[in-house]
């Protein structure tokens, strides 16, 4: 049966380790795997803006011997004119996989249900699982074994990044802390899913509303924009609410001395993070951004092998 990657918990802990190991292997030998030789085409669809995702998928698909077909929803029949299921049926006759950055998770699910080729979520309102594969690869490179590490995600706990941190890091056996204002907590169903995963993996999930408490002794501190794509109209209200959740030197000083800092980017310096932290010695954001390429290539190889 075709496997899809719509949320971080679509893969088991063993499968996640397998994909991360493959990513490390392929990073060391960039052109070693060519499953898309032909070239076969992968459709990469964008309903929202992107720099890293667009470039890393386009380059990664080419590295695998294939060719990317970048589709902007504004110039396609998706986005109200044609259903995801009809689009899926058309695309599967021509492409090897579908990568889609969109708003609602339901569209991705409909796409996946109606196609025989793998569908990859390259960011929705609810999850950003490709980013998490890159982040886990980065954490592994800097800290070694993931299981047992403490990671604190600071910011909008109900955002795609907050949710993906909850699911992907508990899958990896990590202790996850989400630090957020109460009104921006993760969806209870996602916390419940993360808790069930953590019970099996030996990790844990805690939602906290105090930044100081949440970063205390952490191995990894992560933040993201306070204003995700689609939430621009709420900017003033969000900036006012998130003010006490800025990651600055003081917060990093409460984490472990050897803690690393991650941010999926794009960043708003002076809002969710100070320049001295994001551009400082503990920041690994450029490795993290490069790892989008390696992690997604491994994911595509793995999904094509399991199709």
N-term to C-term CA, the chain? 6
Per annotation, catalytic residue among 4, 7, 33, 101: 101
Q: Where are the alpha helices (DSSP H) in the chain?
A: 13-28, 52-63, 84-92, 105-113, 129-143, 160-171, 188-201, 211-215, 235-242, 249-254, 275-278, 285-305
Query: Which of the stretches 67-75, 77-85, 153-161, 272-280 binds ligand NVA when contact is defined by CB under 6 A?
Result: 153-161
Identify the residue among 7, 33, 52, 256 touching ligand CP (CB under 6 A): 52
Residue 52 or residue 256: which is nearer to ligand NVA going by CB? 52
Binding residues among 166-225 for ligand CP as defined by CB under 6 A: none
Tell me how far, at minimum, the Cβ of 41 lies from ligand NVA, in Å: 25
Minimum CB distance to ligand NVA, residue 99 (Å) = 14
Question: Given the structure tokens 């990671």, which residue do they identify?
Answer: 151
Residue linked to tokens 């690994």: 284
Active site (annotated) includes residue 180? no
Q: How far is CA 228 from CA 50, 115, 128, 179, 282, in A?
A: 12, 29, 12, 17, 24
Would you call 264 a catalytic residue per the annotation? yes
Instruction: Based on the shown chain and the rule CB under 6 A, indicate whether residue 110 belongs to the binding site for ligand NVA.
Output: no
Of 4, 7, 33, 128, which residue is the catalytic one? 128
Closest listed residue to residue 164, CA positions, set 199, 193, 196, 200 = 193
Q: Residues 122, 140, 201, 228: which binds ligand NVA (CB under 6 A)?
A: 228
Structure tokens at 82: 């044609």
16 in catalytic set = no
Active-site residue flag, 268: no
* 161 in contact with ligand NVA (CB under 6 A): yes
Q: In the sheet that 67-72 helps form, which strands lie side by side, from edge to edge?
A: 67-72, 41-46, 97-101, 119-121
265 binds ligand CP (CB under 6 A): yes
Rounded-to-integer distance, Cα 278 and Cα 144, Å? 22
Nearer to ligand CP, 130 or 197 (CB): 130
Query: Does the protein bind ligand CP through residue 51 (CB under 6 A)?
Result: yes
**Residues known to be catalytic:** 101, 128, 131, 224, 264, 292
Contact residues for ligand NVA (CB under 6 A)? 123, 159-161, 224-225, 228-229, 264
């Amino acid at each position: 049966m075709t496997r899809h990657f719509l949320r971080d918990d679509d893969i088991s802990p063993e499968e996640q380790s397998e994909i991360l190991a493959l990513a490390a292997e392929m990073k060391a030998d960039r052109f070693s795997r060519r499953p898309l030789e032909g070239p076969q085409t992968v459709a990469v669809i964008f309903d929202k803006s992107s720099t890293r995702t667009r470039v890393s998928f386009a380059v990664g698909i080419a590295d695998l011997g294939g060719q990317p077909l970048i589709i902007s929803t504004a110039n396609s029949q998706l986005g109200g004119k044609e259903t995801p299921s009809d689009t899926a049926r058309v695309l599967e006759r021509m492409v090897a996989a579908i990568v889609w950055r969109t708003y609602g998770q339901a569209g991705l699910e409909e796409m996946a249900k109606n196609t025989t080729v793998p569908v990859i979520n390259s960011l929705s309102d609810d999850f950003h699982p490709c980013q998490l594969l890159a982040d886990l690869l980065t954490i592994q490179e800097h800290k070694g074994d993931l299981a047992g590490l403490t990671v604190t995600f600071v910011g909008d706990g109900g955002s795609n990044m907050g949710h993906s941190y909850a699911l992907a890091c508990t899958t990896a056996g990590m202790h996850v802390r989400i630090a957020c204002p109460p009104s921006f907590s993760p969806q209870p169903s996602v916390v419940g899913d993360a808790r069930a995963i953590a019970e099996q993996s030996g990790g844990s999930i805690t939602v906290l509303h105090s930044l100081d408490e949440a970063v205390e002794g952490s191995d990894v501190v992560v933040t993201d924009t306070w204003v995700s794509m689609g939430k621009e109209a709420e900017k003033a209200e969000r900036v006012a609410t998130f003010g006490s959740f800025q990651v600055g030197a003081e917060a990093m000083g409460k984490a472990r001395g050897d803690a690393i800092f991650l941010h999926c980017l794009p960043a708003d310096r002076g809002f969710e993070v100070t320049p001295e932290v994001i551009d400082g010695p503990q920041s690994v954001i450029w490795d993290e951004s490069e790892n989008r390429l390696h992690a997604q290539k491994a994911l595509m190889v793995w999904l094509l092998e399991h199709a």
